[in-house]
Amino acid sequence: MSAALPREPGSAEIAALDAQLQRTWGTGRGLWERLATVDHKIVGRRYVITGFAFFVLAGVLALLMRTQLMKADHELISPDRYNQIFSMHGTTMMFLFAVPIMEAMAVYLVPLMCGTRNISFPRLNAYSYWVYLAGGVMVWIAFLLNVGPETGWFSYVPLAGPEYSAGKRTDFWAQMITFTEVAALAVAVELVATIMKQRAPGMTLARMPLFLWAMLVTSLMVIIAMPAVMLASSFLISDRLIGTHFYNPVEGGDALLWQHLFWFFGHPEVYIIFLPALGMVSSIVITFSRRTIFAYTLMVLALLATGLLAFGLWVHHMFATGLPRLGSSFYTAASMMIAIPSGVQIFSWIATMWDGKPRFQSPLLFVIGFIVIFVLGGLTGVMLAAVPLDLQVHDTYFVVAHFHYVLIGGAVFPLFGAFYYWFPKFTGRMLSERLGRWNFWLFFIGFNVAFFPMHILGLAGMPRRVYTYPSGLGWESLNLLSSLGAFLIGVSVVLFIINVMRSLRVGEPAGDNPWDAPTLEWAMSSPPPPYNFMHVPVVTGREALWQPGPRQVLEGLSPSHREVLCTTALAAEPDIRQPSATPSLWPLWAALATTVWFIGSIFDARAVVWGAFPLAVCLIGWLWPTHPEPFRERSPA
């Protein structure tokens, strides 16, 4: 830490300050203290682990599906069970893994990268995690009790409506949406506020690391996109539970309304998953190329452009529904335009590596894998944007191949790279490089063996979401190959888990900044102390830790109270000292009340009313004003 200080205070002075800050910001070891914590690092860690657990669960489902499809007319899994399995696979991967884990990484990293002591709205953050956990656990228990979702991750009506999906299965699905979207919206609001108001002094917009830019754009997208799906799922629930007719054509409703609402969310959702991954890629590329990013301004503009365009192309999921053909061409153009910002970013990363001094360690390997896989997925995306071609390959295995190339290639590979990259910061220990290489190569090869053949299967006429297929259509060998590849991915993920378990106990100690990375999260010890920064860091350039000269800090935040420094939104000039919320159990109680409310409404429509009362009580407790100490006028030094 001493290196981060402009003057060299005595070690006793540092120890005393550290002890005081530990008392102010620390989380005790008792059960209640752990449950009440609002430390973004603890919440973020829980979020990441939970998200990864859902990834493994959904991966197991994928292996079950690949086992069933290994040969023609295989009767291992009944159609009813298979339909639940693929629905749960998609639902879990999209709603319980991909979006939450990206937000989870941001919950951990954004405050550190901003140079602040905690995320904004820390109690909302804790609440968000509990709500997410409750929603995920609920839908998985339902699935294990054979009331899992059965209509796919986008649950088209009327199939998901009251008439064709009787019972409670789809109700659990729809409420799971509500849970996860509440959680995601909460985190998005926190991230926007943290990034806009809590950046270290001197970190102007033009000096923001690309990861922060990516998370800013993503969070704004969440705020705009998620309400659409909550509206859609609320309509669905009310059609199912209280007999409204939003989606019933016989009563003047419309089945396509669901698709418009869902994809207005669903397409941006893909970029909500993908943009954080781009931020991770930029972080890794810069650190391992040991060079500032090439064309920073264009990179920022590309993120913004992707975020904007994402809202103008949902109809390309609906080309086959018979919408006016000429209008569809507009969405062809909009969809293809996404290739422009993506192409620029790909170029910039490669250019940075080209001109940099790359070190080929696991994080960079995953980034290279990302480029090779993602670009292919992007190009098949361009193909899918063309209406006539889409009409052939839509809803076939070609599309399955396409979105696994963009989602696994575009998000999971960067995420694994990010795990290898930030694991030392999270835990203070390095992951094994040797196992990391095995992990990467098995994943890379397994992935391509599993998913490349699916392009061909789609062109050869195999529709998606079929629990079995007849022999004689030329699909057997490709399906077998694909299944073998899937198992290779399984082995690779197991290796990763072994690597993590092993490194947690005997991994090489990491030190503060093992990669010599330039961003602020590497400025403190690993793992970071509860208060993150002893003093507020001052940023003088885009790569904060690479700047020459002694590092400057700002003093003046109270060591005995939870305070963070708010800065101005554009220039990041010190603005005000803002009290930061103290630990509380109310977010947990509020989340439990929310859970009772949401699950209750699945079984009894009246729960919508009575379920709101316990939550109201919890919110009153949560927001009950404490007596603030008299405001001491003290401008930051």
User: Which residue, chain included where needed, has tokens 């990302």?
Assistant: 370
Q: What is the DSSP letter of 544?
A: G
Six token digits for residue 551: 């590092």
Q: How far is the CB of 519 from another protein (least distance, A)?
A: 12
Q: How far is the CB of 361 from another protein (least distance, A)?
A: 11
Q: Could you give the count of Cα atoms lying within 13 Å of 192 in the half-sphere of its Cβ?
A: 13
Residues 156 and 588: their CA atoms lie apart, in Å, by 34
Q: How far is the CB of 169 from another protein (least distance, A)?
A: 12
Q: What is the DSSP letter of 94?
A: I
Residues 305 and 465: their CA atoms lie apart, in Å, by 33
Residues 548 and 554: their CA atoms lie apart, in Å, by 18
| Single-letter residue type at 480 | L
Q: What is the DSSP letter of 432?
A: P
User: For the residues of 424-473, what is the DSSP string, one character each?
Assistant: HHHHSBPPPHHHHHHHHHHHHHHHHHHHHHHHHHHHTT-BSS-S---TTS
Q: How far is the CB of 391 from another protein (least distance, A)?
A: 3
Strands 536-537 and 553-554, by their bridges, are antiparallel
Residues 576 and 564: their CA atoms lie apart, in Å, by 9
In the complex with another protein, the residue whose CB is nearer, 95 or 452, is 452
Helix axes 362-385, 339-355, angle to 10 degrees: 150
Instruction: Check if the beta carbon of residue 380 is closer than 8 Å to that of residue 402.
Output: yes
CB atoms inside a 10 Å sphere around CB 230: 18
Instruction: Check if the beta carbon of residue 593 is closer than 8 Å to that of residue 614.
Output: yes
Q: How far is the CB of 258 from another protein (least distance, A)?
A: 10
In the complex with another protein, the residue whose CB is nearer, 313 or 618, is 313
Q: How far is the CB of 76 from another protein (least distance, A)?
A: 14
Q: How far is the CB of 554 from another protein (least distance, A)?
A: 22
In the complex with another protein, the residue whose CB is nearer, 256 or 585, is 256
Q: How far is the CB of 288 from another protein (least distance, A)?
A: 10
Six token digits for residue 441: 């190569």
In the complex with another protein, the residue whose CB is nearer, 17 or 484, is 484
In the complex with another protein, the residue whose CB is nearer, 234 or 540, is 540
User: For the residues of 22-81, what is the DSSP string, one character each?
Assistant: HHHH---SSHHHHHH---HHHHHHHHHHHHHHHHHHHHHHHHHHHHHTTSTT--SS-HHH
Q: How far is the CB of 292 from another protein (least distance, A)?
A: 4
In the complex with another protein, the residue whose CB is nearer, 176 or 545, is 545
Residue 577 bridge partners (DSSP):
565
Strands 553-554 and 574-579, by their bridges, are unpaired
Instruction: Check if the beta carbon of residue 132 is closer than 8 Å to that of residue 172.
Output: no
In the complex with another protein, the residue whose CB is nearer, 85 or 449, is 449
SS3 567: strand
- Determine the length of the chain: 637
In the complex with another protein, the residue whose CB is nearer, 208 or 226, is 208
In the complex with another protein, the residue whose CB is nearer, 445 or 612, is 445
Q: How far is the CB of 105 from another protein (least distance, A)?
A: 24
Residue environment code for 560-584, b if the CB has 16+ CB neighbours within 10 A, otherwise e: eebbbbbbeeeebebeebeebbebb
Q: How far is the CB of 11 from another protein (least distance, A)?
A: 30
In the complex with another protein, the residue whose CB is nearer, 311 or 347, is 347
In the complex with another protein, the residue whose CB is nearer, 463 or 579, is 463
Q: What are phi and psi of 583, to 5 degrees?
A: -55, 150
Q: What is the DSSP letter of 118?
A: S
In the complex with another protein, the residue whose CB is nearer, 87 or 120, is 87
Q: How far is the CB of 374 from another protein (least distance, A)?
A: 10
**How many whole angstroms from its chain centre is CA 626?**
34
In the complex with another protein, the residue whose CB is nearer, 28 or 474, is 474
| Single-letter residue type at 539 | V
